[in-house]
Structure 1
């Protein structure tokens, strides 16, 4: 298995993984599949020398999962904060791949001036919560029934992780 920075040629398989979660779970709130074109624009935010990174796991040409960091909100107040996302292909779950991908992502972010990493987990999702706890994410709170998909309300646990950078007001 190869763990590497994502490439544009991965967009199709990344889109397939997103769409699996849209169609079969409440982990994504969209009700319609994402398009390849939409994911191309989304992918353009990632760069190896930035706060916004994407790592993929590939085996025999098949993308098994990815972890990425994205802007939390588009305002200067949040420039040292990122939102982390991780998705695994159904056949790759429960094999430790999420830990490998998150390890790579957080190691890379350690040199990019990131102060906080946030993540929202649609409930219930014990496996994702356990993964985040293993990486020292702290539970911040639950947004109760704040989203609606297919006629059902969804709650999400929000978590945060501190990274080691100092803020100077000078």
Structure 2
């Protein structure tokens, strides 16, 4: 298995993983599958020399999962804060791959001047909460029933992790 920076040619397989979570779980709040074209614009935010990174796990040409950091909010006040996202293909869950991907992502972010990493986890999701806590994320709070999917309200736990920042 290889962990590497994501490429545009990975978008189709990344979109397939997103769409699994849209169609089969409450982890994504979209009500319809994402088209590849939507993910093209989304993918343009990532660069190896920025706070916005994407890493993929690949085995035999198949993307097994990805972890990325995206802008938290589009205003200068939040430029040193990112929101981290991680998704695994269903067959890759429970094998330690999430830890490998998060290690790579957080290591890369440590070199980019990121001050805080945030992550929202739709509940219930004990595996994702355990992964985040293993990496030093702390619970900030729960947005109770703030989203609705398939006629059911969904709550999300928000977590944060401080990263060391060196200013010139």
Q: TM-score range by the shorter chain?
A: over 0.9
Partner Cα separation in structure 1 for residue 29 and residue 167 of structure 2: 34
Partner Cα separation in structure 2 for residue 63 and residue 111 of structure 1: 25
Q: Which residue of structure 2 aligns with residue 153 of structure 1?
A: 153
Q: Which residue of structure 1 aligns with residue 22 of structure 2?
A: 22
1:34-53 correspondence to structure 2 within 5 Å: 34-53=34-53
Q: Which residue of structure 2 aligns with residue 98 of structure 1?
A: 98
SS at match of 2:87: strand
Q: CA deviation at 1:167?
A: 6.1
SS at match of 1:50: coil
Cα-to-partner distance string for 1:8-48 (whole Å, 9 max, x where unaligned): 00000000000000000000000100010000000000000
Partner Cα separation in structure 1 for residue 5 and residue 136 of structure 2: 23
Matched pairs, number: 168
Q: Which residue of structure 2 aligns with residue 85 of structure 1?
A: 85
- The root-mean-square deviation of aligned C-alpha atoms, in Å, is 0.9
Partner Cα separation in structure 2 for residue 24 and residue 51 of structure 1: 30
SS at match of 2:14: helix
- Structure 2: state its 5+ residue gaps: none
Runs of 4+ in structure 1 over 6 Å off: none
